[in-house]
Every structure is written in structure tokens, then in C-alpha cells.
Structure 1
Amino acid sequence: MNIEQELHKHLFQQREEQTQHLEYNLEFQFYNAVASGDMETVSRYCTAEQDETVYDGTEYGRLSENRLQNARYHFVVAVALITRVCVEQGMERETAYTLSDILIQRMDRLTTVPEISALHNAMIRDFTRRMQEVRRAHAYSIHVSKAVSYISAHLHEKLTTQDIADAISLNRSYLSTLFRREIGKTLHQYLLSAKLQSAAQLLTTSEISLSEIGAYYGFASQSHFIQCFQRETGLTPMEYRRKFYQRSEVSDSKNG
């Protein structure tokens, strides 16, 4: 049976059984809620986590005869569509697609439908929370928004405030004034904080050495990195890793 014949067969069966996929307007409401950061609405779309048959409903469509494989396919479709919508609505592209990869890899290690359903709910809430942050960031002026995006994409480089100002064709002093007015930090303070927060994430999600992390984010020496990190977080990098490492993605994957 070719694709065209199989398509007509399935459409006929669905009409006979009076089944149909989720209506477009409901799909739109869901994706719009995620992109808008509307956690209350998104929570109403969360699946019943302990229900083995949660993906068997006609609104989902059957992508596999195997229940677990069907759930896997639906998860991949959902995270792919949500990622695309969030990127289109302003989420930083590399962040969105890397998060998507992590989630799919995590799902691939799960062995039951309820586990996948629970991860699905966590996934949509996480994207929604991140879009709330994107929405708040969009309250900034166009110049600050551009600078924030540029910094995010070049954190691992030895950036100077002049580099950032040049990249968005703006006077450095004026850009720093905008940052202080809108964010409460100078451009230099924001850049340093962004590097340190990203370094903190790497400390808890990898086993890369402190010296390598410091060098990666452009710190002149390990002692300078430690000094700045402690001023930012109240902990040395080693203390931070010891305290938070067990809550990381890496730790979860080892334990799971």
C-alpha cells in the first residue's frame, strides 16, 4: 500500500470512528500560552502523569502501535514545536535548541509512559518560565536588548564593553548609561555577572576544572576568576560546585 492509499484508509477510519486530532484553535492557544509565558494556562494542558494511556487519546494521534514508543514520538514532536515557537517569539536560538537536545536525550533514558509524561509537563513549564524571562527582557530598550543578546552569544570571548558597543553601533558611555538605568548595572558589571552566572552553570553541570572554566570565560588568571566568582555568589567556585553539583543535569543522568 502506497502513502496515498494509506492516507485515505486512515482518514476513512477516523471518520467512521468519529475521531480527530486536537483542533487547531486549541493547539494555537497552547503554543501561544507557552510563548507568552502564561503559566496558569499552560498548567491546564499538563498531562496526567500516572496515566499509562495518556497518549492513547484520539486528539494525539497514533504514531506507533507500541504505547511507550508512541509516547516517545509525541514528546519529540512537542519539544520540537515548542522550541520553534519560542525561538520565533524571541528566545535565544542556541539556548532553545540546546535545551531541546538535552530534554530529548533525557527522555530517551526513560522507560515508562508516566516518566515521559512527567518530563513533558516539566518541559512545557520550563519553556514557559524561560519565555516569562524573555518577555521581561523585551521591556528593555532596543539598544539594551541587542547588547544583552550579543553578550549571551559571545560569553566565552574576551569581550570588552567597547566590543559590545561597536557591535551594536552605539557609543560605549551611552550604552553603559542605558544599562544602569534599565538593569541597575553598568555594562561592565552586567557583562561580568553574565560570565560568572554562566560559569556557575558549567560548574554544576560538568567536571571541567576550575582553571579551564576561568580561562574559557576570559579571566586573566584563576585567582582573578575565584575572586570575582566569590564576590558574585558569596562562594568560591569549589564551594559552589560542592554545594550544587548534586542538583545538576549531569548528576541526575548518572543517578537515573
Structure 2
Amino acid sequence: MSYKNEWFLLEANDEIDEIEHREPTEEFLFYRAVSTGDIETVRKNCEQGRFMEGEGVGVLSRDPVVNLKYHFVITTAMITRLCRQTGMELEQAFRMSDFYIQKLDDIHTEEEVHRLHDEMVMDYTEKMRKYSRSDTNSKHINVCKEYIYSHIKERITIEDLADELGVSSGYLSRLFKKETGVSVSAYIRRQKIDMAKNLLRFSDYSMIEIANRLSFSSQSHFIQQFREVVGMTPKKYRDEYYMVQWDIEPGPIHSDGGDHGVQNKQLS
């Protein structure tokens, strides 16, 4: 029997009406909450366990773990698309999606899928909260930001960005400073340091390896730049924050790029 004929029989079976699905409006509102950075709504949804077998998700597999994995992929795809439409950089949106979906390969229980789901949606929500509070940029500047994100491991110059956009470096430099309040070089440095902070927290790369991966001219230059931005050396930062995750609180995001109103705890 073909799959199409099997579906016709299932569709005609009264039992199909017994399969409950979450209202599309509710599901869409949740996706919108993520893409608009609505921390409270998304956290409440996670606390209520809406992403659970029998609690709002349909049946896509008879295996409960596989079923949740399928729904996880669907949820991630929808959130990625909406976040992208709302302004998240294309490369960042899809790299995050790939990262979390690939994590499913190492998961074998429903509880682990639930936990990954909640971490994924909160990660997207927090990033969109920051974006929605700070982004008023033109298309040129958003393209610049996307280029910087996707080439963060390389040495990036204002000339590279100007060539990408087909404008003069002087014009782009003035436009970037006007719209973001910082120079191109300061923005690139901030993005590289943010990436370095993640590597210091969640990897075992040495200082020289991190410096090389992010195309700093030397280890000493990396340490100097890191200290100027963060206020401490990379070694001290790793000593304090290695394998620490953040508990997101709905506190303000300040223009200095710091995350205020957050607590942290040691990963188990």
C-alpha cells in the first residue's frame, strides 16, 4: 500500500480526530515571543512544560524520544525563520539552528530533549531581546554586521567591508559611527572579544590558540585588547567563568555591551 493510500485510510478513520494538536495561534504566539525577545512569556512556556509528550505536541513518531526530536527540529526551523525576519543576522541564525539540531544526535531521553529545547528557545530569545533594544540600523550597516559575524575568525578591515558593499571606506566609516555610535574597528573588536569570552568559558583552547583563531596579531595583543574591553585578563576571566552558564534575568541591556541583571551558576 502506498503512503498516500495509507493516509486516506487514516484520514477516514474516526480515531484521527482524537489526536489533539496545539492551537496554531498559540504556537505562533510562542514563536513570536521568541523572535521579539519576550523573555517572560518564553520562560513561562518552558516552566509550564508545553514542549512535552501529551502537552501540546502532535504525534509524528511512535517513539516518544524521536517524536520530541522531530518537534524540536520543527520548532527550531520556525524560530530561526522568524528571528531572521525580525533582524537576526542570517549567518548567526542558521549557525545557531545547526548547532542545536546537531546536539540531538547525543540525546537519548525525553528529559534531555526538553532541557535542550528550553535552552535553545531561551538562547534565541535573549539574543533577540538585545537586538530589538539596540537595532535601528540601515541595510548597509546590517550587511556589515552580518559580514563581520560570518568572518569573525579573519582579519577584517574597513576596506573589506567597503568592497563588500561597493561604497567608499570613508563613507562607510562615517555611516557606521553615526548609526551605531562606535567605529568599525571598535565594533569588530567587541565581536571578537565576545567570541573569545565564549571560548574561554566553554573550551580548553589556550590563550595563544584563541588569539590565533580570532586573528589577533599576537597573544600579547589579544590579552591587551581583552583587558581593555572586559576589564580583566583572559586568564582571570577563565578562572572565574570557566563552564559557567547564565541564568537570564529581564534586566536592562546597557550600551556598554555588558549583561546586567544576570546571575550565573556552575554547570553540573
- With the shorter chain as reference, the TM-score category is 0.7 to 0.9
Q: Deviations over 1:126-154 (max 9, x none)?
A: 21222223334541233322222222122
After TM superposition, the structure 1 = structure 2 runs for residues 91-130 of structure 1, keeping only pairs within 5 Å, are 91-130=88-127
Partner of 1:227: 224
Answer yes or no: is 1:217 the counterpart of 2:182: no
Unaligned residue ranges in structure 2 (runs of 5+):
247-266
Partner of 1:55: 53
Answer yes or no: is 1:64 the counterpart of 2:78: no
Matched AA of 1:205: F
Partner of 1:25: 25
Matched AA of 1:8: F
After TM superposition, the structure 1 = structure 2 runs for residues 111-150 of structure 1, keeping only pairs within 5 Å, are 111-150=108-147
2:79 to 67, 77, 82: 82
TM-score of the pair, normalised by structure 1 = 0.80
Higher alpha-carbon deviation: 139-148 or 6-15: 6-15
Q: Percent identity?
A: 36
Deviation of 1:16 (Å): 6.0
Q: Deviations over 1:196-232 (max 9, x none)?
A: 2222222222222221221232222211111111111
Partner of 2:164: 167
Q: Deviations over 1:36-92 (max 9, x none)?
A: 22334434543634x9x93225x5221222323322322222223322332343322
CA RMSD across the alignment: 3.0
Partner of 1:204: 201
Work out whether residues 63 and 73 of structure 1, in 8 Å CA contact, stay in contact via their aligned partners in 2.
yes
Deviation of 1:34 (Å): 2.2
TM-score of the pair, normalised by structure 2 = 0.77
Work out whether residues 179 and 185 of structure 1, in 8 Å CA contact, stay in contact via their aligned partners in 2.
yes
Q: Deviations over 1:172-201 (max 9, x none)?
A: 334333333333322222122222222222
Partner of 1:5: 5
Work out whether residues 107 and 116 of structure 1, in 8 Å CA contact, stay in contact via their aligned partners in 2.
yes
Unaligned residue ranges in structure 1 (runs of 5+):
250-254
Structure that is richer in helix per residue: 1
Work out whether residues 35 and 128 of structure 1, in 8 Å CA contact, stay in contact via their aligned partners in 2.
yes
Work out whether residues 137 and 145 of structure 1, in 8 Å CA contact, stay in contact via their aligned partners in 2.
no
The whole-number CA distance in structure 2 between the counterparts of 1:118 and 1:78 is 14
Answer yes or no: is 1:188 the counterpart of 2:185: yes
Report the CA distance shift for 1:16/1:155 in structure 2 as closer, same or farther (over 3 A): closer
Higher alpha-carbon deviation: 124-133 or 25-34: 25-34
The whole-number CA distance in structure 1 between the counterparts of 2:16 and 2:235 is 64
The whole-number CA distance in structure 1 between the counterparts of 2:37 and 2:176 is 24
Partner of 1:252: none
After TM superposition, the structure 1 = structure 2 runs for residues 227-246 of structure 1, keeping only pairs within 5 Å, are 227-246=224-243
Deviation of 1:3 (Å): 0.7
The whole-number CA distance in structure 1 between the counterparts of 2:82 and 2:8 is 30
Q: Runs in 1 of length 4+ with deviation above 6 angstroms?
A: none
